[in-house]
Structure 1
Amino acid sequence: MPILPRSFVMKPLIAVVGSTGTGKSKLAVDLASRFNGEIINGDAMQMYCGLPIITNQIPVEERNGIPHHLISCVKLEEQPWWVGRFKNECLRLIDEIHGRGKLPILVGGTHYYTQPVLFKNQLVGDDPTAAEGDGDRDDSESSAKWPILDAPTDVLLQKLREVDPVMADRWHPNEPRKIRRSLEIYFQTGRPASEVYAEQQRLKQGQLRFPTTVFWVHSEKQTLNDRLEKRVDAMVEQGLMGEAKRMSDYVQEKKAQGVPVDQTRGVWVSIGYKELAPYFEALSSGSLSETGLESLKRSCVESVKSATRQYANAQIKFIRTKLCKALVDAGATDRLYLLDSTDVESWTQSITEPSELIVRALLDDTPAPDPKSLSELAHTVLGAIETEPQSESTFMTKCFTCDICHKTMQGEDQWQIHIKGGVHKRTLRRAAKLAARDEYLRRQQEAPKEEDGVST
């Protein structure tokens, strides 16, 4: 019987994470080419077909003949994939790739999709109560069983307060899908979602599924922002407007047929469509002059750039808080390697050489370098994460409502920032002045009555 290579027996996995615009796809192709790998897409938007520009799919000519899975495989009219479905399909593909004696490489920026693949029984993302294997649920089925799930958000939130005040305190009133999901869990299980989640937390089963190396491709903020702005301009030149218009036309066509399109999910929330929607609405209605349309178009493109920068920040925040915390819990912080892609001209020295050295160490089961030793940026960022105090659990985060300012904040940190902020203090002073004025007017109105009483 032939002796199998150690790397084949150990079933390793490479994960490539990072914000948009840092070079994740290029690194994945480089590693797959070097180590006989296959790539699994971990970007929720890149799963949609027919929209390569708006979803930033790696061009076929740049894939170097490497098989890419779960990319351009979902049609516009199909239901969006939930996290559980993605996880199950991804694990199936990883098993198949291992079966072919090849190295699976998971790459993508939808980190709440990829993290449940990396860790056993990991509840992550914005809805931590979504149980594993729950990715194929259909909203229409739940609505048929429990019609209240289609009620307005304020009704859902009130019902959730009755059955699960812990989760009701956690969600912001502007998070209808999360409120709905928490209530749905209660109906499905007969138990509060907070209780279900707390029980799973107690199991402490957050270990890595495979011998894994995680590469975090990262760039300094200003350089990344400049890169993202240029990339949006390039996307416009390559046909971004055309793809967004096809999406807009699809929505209008379905609307004419009396078929509503849920634009709060799936590719309809992708950056590049929703920001350009006002332009296409004005174009369709003929409400603006040609000059007005051009001005609106420029404004919408600027919104795409702004949203892209914000998304990059959110991706980095997820890695720093959720991914790093999961690695700490799993005792696997030495599996995370930050690769500095700030200077693309030094890609070979900064990315290719260290990543190949680290993958070889994983496959040969030999010592790998200290993650902080790879670059000055790695030393700074990873060192800062190590010294950061553990933030409050995502699950335990509560919402606080300021009755004076009529605003709702998530978490103690945001609440403290608000009550110490200038806006809140000015509102308090203004409220105090109004209260004093009302009291003065009240007394003025009562004074004549008292005088009348005396004279009588």
Structure 2
Amino acid sequence: MNISSSFGETCAKSLINYHNELNASFNIHIYNNNHIYKDKVIFVMGATGTGKSKLSIDIANHIPAEIINCDKIQVYKGLNTLTNKVTQEESQGIRHHLLGFIDDPNADYNVTHFRNDAILAIESIIEQNKHPIIVGGSNSFIESLINGDSYFMSRYECCFLWVDVNLPVLDRFVSKRVDQMVESGLVDEVREIFDPEGDYTRGIRRAIGVPELDRFLRAEKDGFVDKGALDILLKIAIDEIKVNTYNLACRQVNKIRKMKDFWGWDLHHIDATDAFLKDKTEERNEAWERLVVRPSVLCVRDFLRATRSSGMQSKSKAPSTTVIKEVVSSMATVPAVI
């Protein structure tokens, strides 16, 4: 009888150990109340120019986190100004993954590559007891990871932050930003990679700003056009960059709305328009902190505190969008560091 009891205890302990190891390997945690917990991933979404990268860094300064780039052009090395990559100073010491790590400018980096690389980065971050923040405007990459990868779907729970700016306001901001990029050396960057035989449908040359400068750079290279004509070609190219960037922003917003409606994602909509309307730097920073950072951090902290996983949301679930702006006024007294 004692032998049977000892054997039973040994078997039970072995099963428990196996069960725990299996759950750990799958990033799924089982607790005493039989609730299932998943590791958590934060997504910062939005159109180009809305401040996604800035917000992700601001959030990472409030929680232990690292950032995973989800911009299909920023994965390539080079064109730092044109692609608006975060600088070392702007990163504030927060580690960024999948940013400027592909050497071959002609490489075809697709959704499958991103899914594989993103999952490896997520697991690496979680192993350090930090939280992954995925940020970028390549919504097809996000959609493929969340709803096209069974491994991710079964192991992770998501929080979606959608930072948004009124499109006419964003249009004016994007136009100014392009002018600033030109002053910071955008044309010189593109000139360095210019290839008359280059393929503008592959790799980093797909970036807005590269195809648009083709006629100007060809004329400049040929040397048969006077300075006045070159100046006109350059102005045309810059105007095209502004228009195409705004059109990209419109497509990105439409894609986010479609994903929300189709998949039923619970998007926390953060309206940053008022911050963009401020002319003075001090006022703009204050508005950004109050209207964007604080409610976003509150949302993320609530998400991380939640104990029971609700699982992935499917197409059959009614779509919902939490509009953060509606509750901002009640958060005015929340301290900057939460």
Q: Structure 2: any 5+ residue segments left out of the alignment?
A: 1-28, 32-36, 276-283, 309-319, 329-338
In structure 2, the partner of 1:302 is 239
Aligned with residue 353 of structure 1, among 287, 294, 299: 294
Offset from partner CA, 1:295-338 (integer Å, 9 cap, x none): 111111101101101110111111111x213432xxxx4x3101
Matched residue type, 2:122: I
Is it true that 1:343 corresponds to 2:274 in the alignment? yes
Give the aligned partner of residue 218 of structure 2: 281
Question: Could you say if the C-alpha distance between residues 373 and 40 of structure 1 is closer, same or farther in structure 2, counting changes exceeding 3 Å?
Answer: closer
Give the aligned residue type for 1:365. Answer: A
Distance 1:98 1:68 in 2: 14
Residue 247 of structure 1 and its aligned partner are, at CA, apart by 1.3
- If the length of structure 2 is used for normalisation, what is the TM-score? 0.76
Provide the aligned C-alpha RMSD in A: 2.7
- Tell me which residue corresponds to 1:327: 263
Please give the alpha-carbon distance, in whole angstroms, between the structure 2 residues aligned to 1:54 and 1:72.
13
Q: How does 1:160-171 map to 2 (within 5 A)?
A: none
**1:441 corresponds to:** none
Aligned residue-pair number: 276
CA change 1:22–1:209 in 2 (3 A) is farther
1:269 aligns with 2:206: yes
Between the aligned partners of 1:300 and 1:351, the Cα distance in structure 2 is: 34
How far residue 80 of structure 1 moved from its aligned partner, in angstroms, is 2.1
Q: Amino acid of the residue matched to residue 312 of structure 1?
A: A
> Given the alignment, which residue of 311, 325, 329 partners 1:375?
325
Give the Cα separation in 1 of the matches to 2:126 and 2:96.
15
Partner letter of residue 178 of structure 2?
Answer: V
Q: Does structure 2 retain, via aligned residues, the 8 Å contact 1:48–1:75?
A: yes
Between the aligned partners of 1:76 and 1:294, the Cα distance in structure 2 is 32
The match for 2:168 is: 222
After superposition, the Cα gap between the structure-2 partners of 1:300 and 1:102, relative to the gap in structure 1 and judged at 3 Å, is same
Partner of 1:164: none
Distance apart, 1:262 and its partner CA: 3.1
Q: Is the 8 A contact 2:105 2:203 kept in 1?
A: no
Give me the whole-angstrom Cα distance separating, in 2, the residues matched to 1:208 and 1:374. Answer: 28
Which structure has the highest helix share of the two? 1
Tell me by how many angstroms 1:117 deviates.
Answer: 1.6
User: How far 1:291 moved relative to its partner?
Assistant: 0.6
> Which residue does 1:235 correspond to in 2?
181
2:203 and 2:323 mapped to 1: Cα distance? 39
Aligned 1:4-403 pairs, distance under 5 A: 10-121=38-149, 210-248=156-194, 251-252=195-196, 261-321=198-258, 323-328=259-264, 333=265, 335-344=266-275, 345=284, 346-365=287-306, 371-375=321-325
CA distance, structure 1, for counterparts of residue 170 and residue 100 of structure 2: 26
Equivalent-residue separation in structure 2 for 1:288 and 1:102 (angstroms): 56
TM-score w.r.t. length of structure 1 = 0.57
Paired with 1:20 and 1:109, the residues of 2 have a C-alpha distance of: 6
Query: 1:375 aligns to what SS in structure 2?
Result: helix
In structure 2, the residue corresponding to 1:217 is in which secondary structure? strand
Cα distance in 1 for partners of 2:235, 2:185 equals 15
1: CA distance, partners of 2:108 / 2:210: 16
Q: Which structure 1 residue ranges, 5 or more long, are not aligned? A: 123-131, 133-205, 256-260, 379-456
Shift of 1:372: 3.9
Q: Aligned equivalents of 1:225 and 1:296: distance in 2?
A: 22
Using CA pairs below 8 Å that are at least 6 residues apart, which structure has the higher relative contact order?
2
Provide closer, same or farther for how the CA distance between residues 220 and 208 of structure 1 changes in structure 2, counting only shifts above 3 A.
Answer: farther
Q: Does the 8 Å contact 1:41/1:108 carry over to 2?
A: yes
How far did residue 51 of structure 1 move? 1.4
In 1, the alpha carbon distance for the partners of 2:109 and 2:323 equals 39
**Which whole-Å CA distance do the structure 2 matches of 1:87 and 1:317 have between them?**
22
Structure number with the higher strand fraction is 2
